[in-house]
Chains A and B, each alone.
Chain A
Amino acid sequence: MAPPAQSQRSSSPSQPSGKSEVSDLKLQLRQLAGSRAPGVDDSKRELFKKVISYMTIGIDVSSLFGEMVMCSATSDIVLKKMCYLYVGNYAKVNPDLALLTINFLQRDCHDEDPMIRGLALRSLCSLRVANLVEYLVGPLGSGLKDSNSYVRIVAVIGVLKLYHISVSTCVDADFPSILKHLMLNDSDTQVVANCLSALQEIWSAEASTSEEASREREALISKPVIYYLLNRIKEFSEWAQCLVLELVAKYMPLESDEIFDIMNLLEDRLQHANGAVVLATIKVFLQLTLSLTDVHQQVYERIKAPLLTLVSSGSPEQSYAVLSHLHILVMRAPYIFSSDYKHFYCQYNEPYYVKRLKLEMLTAVANESNTYEIVTELCEYAANVDIPIARESIRAVGKIALQQYDVNAIVDRLLQFLEMEKDYVTAEALVLVKDLLRKYPQWSHDCIAVVGNISSKNVQEPKAKAALIWMLGEYSQDMQDAPYILESLVENWDEEHSAEVRLHLLTAVMKCFFKRPPETQNALGAALAAGIADFHQDVHDRALFYYRILQYNVSVAEHVVNPPKQAVSVFADTQSSEIKDRIFDEFNSLSVVYQKPSYMFTDKEHRGPFEFSDELGNLSIGGEAADNVVSAQRVEANDKDLLLTTSEKEETRGSSNNGTDYTAPYDSSSTSVFASQTRMELEISNPTSAGHAPQASLGIDDLLGLGLPAAPAPSSPQLKLSSKAVLDPSAFQQKWRQLPVALSQECSVSPQGVAAFTSPQALLRHMQSHSIHCIASGGQSPNFKFFFFAQKAEETSNYLVECVINTSSAKAQIKIKADDQSTSSAFSTVFQSALSRFGIP
């Protein structure tokens, strides 16, 4: 045969138009159709190959359908298979002709050879023609009962294909319940696995309209089914094992003994060479131990070595998939990985996407003991020829500086970057020095000395230029040339293309003016004139605003534009903890690789089995309608949250207190809207007028739980909690898994609270005195995790809380679930005010 190569270079000018070749083939096929000459099968094979090679490169050969079917009467199995492949491809567009094939396919379904039976059945179900479904039911029914497992394997998937062509035909023939029976009884594990895949798909799709289907779907993760599958796990192929493990991860054991039994049974799966099996096992371990904080942490320790081994064996692609999962674990619990930092060093030949993940991990695991080495390593990358990685490395050094208390050494390194005189290094370093100064103003002296030597002409990138200008304004009293540099920048106003830079320039000139009025007056006048004439709306508005406020009262203007500043304690994460948790719940899926929860990149119907448990939780609480509403709201809330956090959010430890006028409970919907609006206001008002409008921020801070401990307690929260609440751990776990998150918030812990944190026990006693009881706790400095519960005084309505406290950042992440969702925000207020009073005598 002539290799198809010649005809396949689709971009070459010799690309066959297809037409003449196809009609040629048609002729030849006709000649062979009736022939019984010896060797005719060989010639047919060659022709069929040609047809399929055209099909592959996208030439339409559907016009040969009739001839192909005529030639298919053969006992040659290779020919048969090629013919099936062809028919499967074109039947959908040729439903009438497809009818022609039914005959020979049906005949083959009764062949003596089980392989022919299987092949024919598979092709029959792959025709995807709606009006032929009546021909499928019979062969499928007998296929499912076939004595040969190959035929049964094919038939089970055939049922799923039928379901996708015609739901009613499939359901009316009662195929789902036959599959269920096969799944629990068949001796061949591939039959079992296919039944499981098919049933998951069918029942998930049916669950929205049928009560029974949703019960059936739930039954898949019931104890008997799970145990039956687990007991046979080693008989399954490695791929089917993944399928079973994915299901087990959704199972909720009632007793902790079960958890340990399952983990012991699966322990050796962690040594499997197939990364997919290992990750699926890890997901089971992580999900099972979510409520057992200590064990959960041990799981992290246990899975470290297998993950690292997978990262370093296999192809780069496989290793990337595993590394992404290691990344999410490191970001979640950096302290567990802090001694393994050398594994996250970049190798010079790794691709960008791997290096980027590793840099993030290095940043996360940096602590007192390893920072020196990590920063030294990062500085090597900063000098690297790979510019994007050099930039990321400098940013990483900066992030480490911002998260460490001891920054001396790092500041020196950053300043060295400025002296390297590479444009992109200078640019990145300037941005970092700016952030550093916002957090550690005490370093201004050292930094300003070096920054002052940088000529603004060498800085072109808008972000860097803006940073330099900000420093010129902020520290104009310490930089001799500041007014003159700013003046020359104002002179070149028209050449400055970035609006961001022009905005910063306006503000910087204002600040400089308040500090050194005589030297800056000219520049200010020029800047305001240029700004008011600017075509960019924001620049224009800001210039006008400055102009008018100066006109009104210069000292007020100073108070607005250049108020005393408080150092930023923690720069906000770009991703909310809600989003991170959702990604973690979708462990071992693309969500982890994309670093986005599935709803952000996949439409509802394709979210796959990973959303399963979530929906299940909702289903068991309420009816269909309520269910939909809840999930819609949650998604919306998430989106809002995301918007809020991406706008560069800064948590300032405001000096305001919480003399509150907020009283619970509100009607739940209005509360949440109110809360999110005021939060939004806070984000906007904070950077420009920090501390300026204490009146307004009072109530807002309280809503956010930012209240400082010195404050008097909210006089009497209307939500009364029972001091004698009881909830046993298994009931807690059950509820925790079933209920959706009603509220997820982050709040600050007072310095006194952090100081009192020498033992978590103290917190437990403290919370108990507020009728909030701890059910599980764990973690080690600086991360602690607690599960609390509380009950309403007059009725048994439960509140469940997961509270993660990080003592180094003085933050608490709170997730609240409640039986009665409408009161969850009221409860949150009670909880946060209790927490805020921790450590106050």
Chain B
Amino acid sequence: MISQLFVLSQRGDNIVFRGYRGEVQRGSAEIFFRKVRFWNDDGEGDAPPAFNVNGVNYFHVRVSGLLFVATTRVNVSPSLVLELLQRIARLIKDYLGVLNEDSLRKNFVLVYELLDEVLDFGYVQTTSTEVLKSYVFNEPVMIDAARMPSLGPAAIFMQGNKRMPGTAITKSVVVNEPGGRRREEIFVDVIEKISVTFSASGYILTSEIDGTIQMKSYLTGNPEILLALNDDLNIGRVDYRSSYGSGAVILDDCNFHESVQLNSFDIDRTLTLVPPDGEFSVMNYRMTQEFKPPFRINALLEEAGLLKAELILKVQAEFSSSITANSILVQMPVPTYTTRVSLDLEPGAVANTTDYKESSKRLEWGLKKIVGGSEHTLRAKLTFAQEPHGNITKEAGPVSMTFTIPMYNASRLQVKYLQMAKKSNTYNPYRWVRYVTEANSYVARL
């Protein structure tokens, strides 16, 4: 049972505060915020998502720079409360189109209305957008979506990809388009986060893909749909060696949204579902089968005379030249006794930024775009205040990289088709299937 639920801005202001049971005192929001803010004073990094102060348990999730917080005195299931907070954030986003401090402040009465129906006396009642639609009456006040960074992984589709109607992502499920008509459309996004660790010699130590098939439906009447995946998709570690090389996609494991029917999944890899309104994950999957990483990173750090060292960082894009990666950032910590860094890009490099962060002793190299097949190099000269203690590569690194690659997925999992279960000549909504790969932890050691 949840006692209170509140949403705080980054500065700790209450935007919404709802008490359900009166067991926790009103000042809890201040206690919470102070605790979170000064957590790192004990040298333990960020505050964990659940902690206890004087018998009150505080749960929080961070979404779009906002803190969604629940309190209770009861020893509840932490994953239930954290899932719920995340769901509430998503629900609000479904209603408001965009979730941020501004949209929340403009719509706080609507949010109260939602929170009243989602929880009663601290018990969860419903989080289904359809059900809530009939009980929630405030119309969302839309904010200008164009200048607002939107929430979630799907946001990346908005950047410079002309094939996509960018505003669709920030559309409220309850508001009609100008002109009073709703556009019938459904989005299916295959989003993969990849983690790779390269050893100093370039060998892959660990690799994993965490994928999710995310759906956002604006179809009226909630029709049943069919979503077909690759035929050669395998789940569970079936005999590794025999299937490797045969091109089969082998997932270690996956889970599904509760609306998904798996009756024919084992036969033809088809998911049947009646998509609920709003955004949700149809399927989450995890893969540790070997795959070809999109980027190779080479880093060479060598001493070059007294109190000096030279660094060469090379990034190679190993995907097709028809694909372009966006917003690449390569970072590397240098030895703490580094006093000066001079950075050198290769001649002809465009839209590159380089920076040395003195305070955190870290190199940053940003690239707006990398076209498949290309190679980029950064050279740096480091000056030290003292002699390195032996092996200099133990004092620096690792190199980490973040990027986004639209229309690319490393697992080769495909959505073969997306169909309405009942075919009709008159009803043919827009269907968008999109792929994107992001770096989760992409690291090369020195």
With the chains together, A273 CA to B262 CA distance in Å?
14
**Interface residue stretch chosen among B103-111, B161-169, B368-376:** B103-111
Also in contact, A589 and B78, with CB within 8 A (given A9-B13, A601-B55): yes
With the chains together, A586 CA to B76 CA distance in Å?
10
Within B269-284, the residues touching A (CB, 8 Å) are 281, 283-284
Within A50-80, the residues touching B (CB, 8 Å) are 52-53, 56-58, 77-78
Question: Is B148 interfacial (CB 8 A cutoff)?
Answer: no
CB distance from A10 to the nearest CB of B (A): 6
- Select one of B12, B46, B75 contacting A608, CB under 8 A: B75
CB distance from A162 to the nearest CB of B (A): 11
Within B29-58, the residues touching A (CB, 8 Å) are 43-46, 48-50, 52, 55, 57
Question: Is B445 interfacial (CB 8 A cutoff)?
Answer: yes
With the chains together, A388 CA to B19 CA distance in Å?
38
**Interface residue stretch chosen among B310-318, B344-352, B394-402, B415-423:** B394-402
A578 neighbours in B (Cβ, 8 Å): none
Within B54-80, the residues touching A (CB, 8 Å) are 55, 57, 60-63, 73-80
Also in contact, A239 and B206, with CB within 8 A (given A77-B137, A276-B77, A588-B77): no
Within B63-100, the residues touching A (CB, 8 Å) are 63, 73-80, 82-86
Proximity string of chain B (280-294) to chain A, C-beta cutoff 8 Å, 1 when within and 0 when not:
010111101000000
With the chains together, A608 CA to B123 CA distance in Å?
13
B224 neighbours in A (Cβ, 8 Å): none
Cβ–Cβ contact B46 & A352, under 8 A: yes
Question: Is B16 interfacial (CB 8 A cutoff)?
Answer: yes
Question: Is B236 interfacial (CB 8 A cutoff)?
Answer: yes
CB distance from B219 to the nearest CB of A (A): 21
Question: Is B324 interfacial (CB 8 A cutoff)?
Answer: no
B12 neighbours in A (Cβ, 8 Å): 11
Cβ–Cβ contact A279 & B77, under 8 A: yes
Question: Is A317 interfacial (CB 8 A cutoff)?
Answer: yes
B138 neighbours in A (Cβ, 8 Å): 78
- Select one of B55, B121, B394 contacting A603, CB under 8 A: B55
CB distance from A465 to the nearest CB of B (A): 20
With the chains together, A450 CA to B58 CA distance in Å?
48
Question: Is B256 interfacial (CB 8 A cutoff)?
Answer: yes
**Interface residue stretch chosen among A253-261, A319-327, A429-437, A727-735:** A319-327
Also in contact, A56 and B17, with CB within 8 A (given A8-B105, A590-B57, A602-B74): yes
With the chains together, A280 CA to B78 CA distance in Å?
11
Q: Please name the residue on chain B nearest to A356 by beta carbon.
A: B44
- Select one of A276, A308, A317, A422 contacting B252, CB under 8 A: A308
With the chains together, A612 CA to B372 CA distance in Å?
60
Q: Please name the residue on chain B nearest to A305 by beta carbon.
A: B253
- Select one of B86, B253, B283 contacting A314, CB under 8 A: B86
**Interface residue stretch chosen among B112-120, B296-304, B403-411, B426-434:** B112-120
Cβ–Cβ contact B108 & A275, under 8 A: no
Cβ–Cβ contact A309 & B82, under 8 A: no
CB distance from B240 to the nearest CB of A (A): 13
Cβ–Cβ contact B79 & A272, under 8 A: no
A interface: dominant SS:
helix
Question: Is B217 interfacial (CB 8 A cutoff)?
Answer: no
Within A596-642, the residues touching B (CB, 8 Å) are 598, 601-603, 606-608, 610
A419 neighbours in B (Cβ, 8 Å): 390
Q: Please name the residue on chain A nearest to B212 by beta carbon.
A: A313
Question: Is B320 interfacial (CB 8 A cutoff)?
Answer: no
Question: Is B22 interfacial (CB 8 A cutoff)?
Answer: yes
Q: Please name the residue on chain A nearest to B254 by beta carbon.
A: A309
With the chains together, A607 CA to B55 CA distance in Å?
11
Q: Please name the residue on chain B nearest to A241 by beta carbon.
A: B258
A385 neighbours in B (Cβ, 8 Å): 333, 336, 361
Q: Please name the residue on chain B nearest to A278 by beta carbon.
A: B255
Also in contact, A237 and B128, with CB within 8 A (given A276-B77, A278-B255, A314-B86): yes
Proximity string of chain A (142-166) to chain B, C-beta cutoff 8 Å, 1 when within and 0 when not:
0000000010011001001100000
Question: Is A133 interfacial (CB 8 A cutoff)?
Answer: no
Question: Is A487 interfacial (CB 8 A cutoff)?
Answer: no
With the chains together, A56 CA to B6 CA distance in Å?
10
- Residue among A279, A348, A601 facing the most chain B CB atoms (10 A cut-off): A348
With the chains together, A90 CA to B151 CA distance in Å?
35
With the chains together, A352 CA to B49 CA distance in Å?
12
Also in contact, A315 and B86, with CB within 8 A (given A56-B14, A157-B123, A602-B55): yes
Also in contact, A58 and B125, with CB within 8 A (given A239-B84, A305-B236, A420-B389): no
With the chains together, A605 CA to B325 CA distance in Å?
56
B74 neighbours in A (Cβ, 8 Å): 602, 606-608
Question: Is B126 interfacial (CB 8 A cutoff)?
Answer: yes
Question: Is A85 interfacial (CB 8 A cutoff)?
Answer: yes
Question: Is B26 interfacial (CB 8 A cutoff)?
Answer: yes
Q: Please name the residue on chain B nearest to A391 by beta carbon.
A: B43
Also in contact, A352 and B73, with CB within 8 A (given A194-B123, A278-B255, A309-B253): no
- Residue among A58, A310, A383, A601 facing the most chain B CB atoms (10 A cut-off): A383
Cβ–Cβ contact B208 & A78, under 8 A: no
A822 neighbours in B (Cβ, 8 Å): none
Also in contact, A4 and B255, with CB within 8 A (given A190-B126, A598-B75): no
- Select one of A85, A239, A353, A602 contacting B116, CB under 8 A: A85
With the chains together, A276 CA to B112 CA distance in Å?
25
With the chains together, A278 CA to B255 CA distance in Å?
10
Question: Is B181 interfacial (CB 8 A cutoff)?
Answer: no
With the chains together, A316 CA to B123 CA distance in Å?
24
Question: Is A403 interfacial (CB 8 A cutoff)?
Answer: no
- Select one of B86, B112, B116, B257 contacting A317, CB under 8 A: B86
Also in contact, A347 and B83, with CB within 8 A (given A4-B105, A271-B254, A321-B49): no
Question: Is B127 interfacial (CB 8 A cutoff)?
Answer: yes
Within A264-310, the residues touching B (CB, 8 Å) are 271-276, 278-280, 305-306, 308-310
Also in contact, A81 and B137, with CB within 8 A (given A194-B123, A305-B236): yes
CB distance from B333 to the nearest CB of A (A): 5
Cβ–Cβ contact A318 & B441, under 8 A: no
B76 neighbours in A (Cβ, 8 Å): 589-590, 608
Cβ–Cβ contact B15 & A274, under 8 A: no
With the chains together, A353 CA to B43 CA distance in Å?
11
Cβ–Cβ contact A420 & B394, under 8 A: yes
Question: Is B244 interfacial (CB 8 A cutoff)?
Answer: no
Question: Is B328 interfacial (CB 8 A cutoff)?
Answer: no
Question: Is A746 interfacial (CB 8 A cutoff)?
Answer: no
B17 neighbours in A (Cβ, 8 Å): 56
Q: Please name the residue on chain A nearest to B282 by beta carbon.
A: A273
With the chains together, A342 CA to B14 CA distance in Å?
42
Sample of 5 further A-B pairs with CB below 8 A, known A89-B19, A239-B84, A588-B77: A48-B109, A92-B22, A305-B253, A310-B284, A348-B443
25 contacts between A and B (CB under 8 A): A56-B17, A82-B112, A128-B22, A237-B126, A273-B255, A273-B281, A276-B77, A276-B80, A305-B236, A309-B284, A310-B255, A314-B284, A316-B49, A317-B60, A317-B86, A318-B61, A324-B78, A325-B79, A349-B440, A350-B441, A351-B46, A380-B398, A592-B78, A602-B75, A607-B74
Chain A interface residues toward B at CB < 8 A: 3-5, 8-11, 48-49, 52-53, 56-58, 77-78, 81-82, 85, 89, 92, 115, 122, 128, 150, 153-154, 157, 160-161, 190, 194, 197, 237-240, 242, 246, 271-276, 278-280, 305-306, 308-310, 312-318, 320-322, 324-325, 342, 345, 347-353, 380, 383, 385, 388, 419-422, 586, 588-594, 598, 601-603, 606-608, 610
